[in-house]
Amino acid sequence: MRFTKMQGLGNDYVYIDGFAGPLPADLPAFSRAVSDRHFGIGSDGLIAIVPPTSAGADARMRMFNADGSESEMCGNGLRCVAKYVHDRGIVGKPKLTLETGRGLLTVDLEIHAGKVRRVRVNMGAPILRAAIIPVTFPDSPVVNVTWPLLRELAGGIATAVTCVSMGNPHAVVFCSDVATVPLEAVGPKLETDAYFPKRVNVHFVQVHSPSEVTMRTWERGSGITLACGTGACAVAVAGILTGRTGPKLLAHLPGGALELEWAGGTEPVFMTGPAVEVFSGDWPGDA
């Protein structure tokens, strides 16, 4: 099975091309195998690039976490899908429409010497209704709501959460210093808290100014990751909803920075960041 490893701010995935031929029958098992950082290729998960099923789309992405669970969306992964589709000549346009679990999303490509370097993604409007995120807190929207398990685990670092869906569920927690958060210890418990029936991506955020933050992420199904594009979008939304940040935001993640824009209300969130190809190869066996 031919594969390509790509990364957006260190959020790395193994990409396989359904335009070129048949894919493995068991994609969750294939994701677990290739994602293993000791016995596989090593990645945060698997993304299959396949022909679209929706009219008007140029390509479709299916995204699987390292544990094999299928997720609705991945912002960093989507930028890399756009690069793959353009750079390999599958679709040779500077503006693409990509089919995701969130629906159809449009992307604008920054091209240098015939190759995509950066991608600006229209991520769609944030989803704030608790039942759709989904989250079972009685408040809707869930903005600065006390999270009992967070209060118990975080040792006073933070107690409140703001919940946003960007096609997948996010819990945004603001704190004074993200470096003090014991993310490896609290992440797995917060991800699987009963308030979140489909589990949740958890982000701890330190605000430096209305236009700049630093964030750390525990990603649903993958653990600690260097970046989360949908999570950064959720942070931009949560910052405005809680009065901490403005409509343009630079988010620093362990793998690099993302540029985010949200005008509020039902307007879409825009995310701009890099897409990088690392290497290609052949996965052995019966895949």
CATH number, domain with residue 59: 3.10.310.10
pLDDT at 269: 98
Q: Which residue has the higher pLDDT, 248 or 285?
A: 248
Per-residue three-class SS string for 172-216: EEECCCHHHCCHHHHHHHHHCCCCCCCCCEEEEEEEEECCEEEEE
* Beta-carbon-side half-sphere exposure of residue 205 (alpha carbons within 13 Å): 33
Q: What is the DSSP letter of 51?
A: -
- 158 and 115 in a common domain: no
Residue 27 confidence class, pLDDT cut points 50, 70, 90: very high
- 168 and 226 in a common domain: yes
Note whether residue 136 is domain-resident.
no
3-state helix, strand, coil split of the chain in percent (to 5) is 20, 40, 40
Give the whole-angstrom CA distance, residue 206 versus residue 127.
Answer: 23
Three-state secondary-structure class, residue 100 = strand
Average pLDDT over residues 128-133: 97
pLDDT at position 155 over 90:
no
Q: In the predicted model, what is the mean pLDDT of the chain?
A: 96
Note whether residue 234 is domain-resident.
yes
84-113 pLDDT, tens digit per residue, is 999 999 999 999 999 999 999 999 999 999
80 among known catalytic residues: no
pLDDT at 104: 97
Assigned token pair, 210 = 């209305």
74 among known catalytic residues: yes
Count of domains observed in the chain: 2
Range of the domain at 25: 2-123+273-278
Catalytic residue among 74, 80, 175, 233: 74
Residue 154 confidence class, pLDDT cut points 50, 70, 90: confident
Work out the number of other CB atoms within 10 angstroms of the CB of residue 259.
Answer: 16
pLDDT at 286: 56
Catalytic residue among 80, 175, 228, 233: 228
pLDDT at position 41 over 70:
yes
201-251 pLDDT, tens digit per residue, is 999 999 999 999 999 999 999 999 999 999 999 999 999 999 999 999 999
Partner residues linked to 171 by β-bridges:
163, 202
Average pLDDT over residues 159-184: 97
- 151 and 106 in a common domain: no
Model-level pTM?
Answer: 0.93
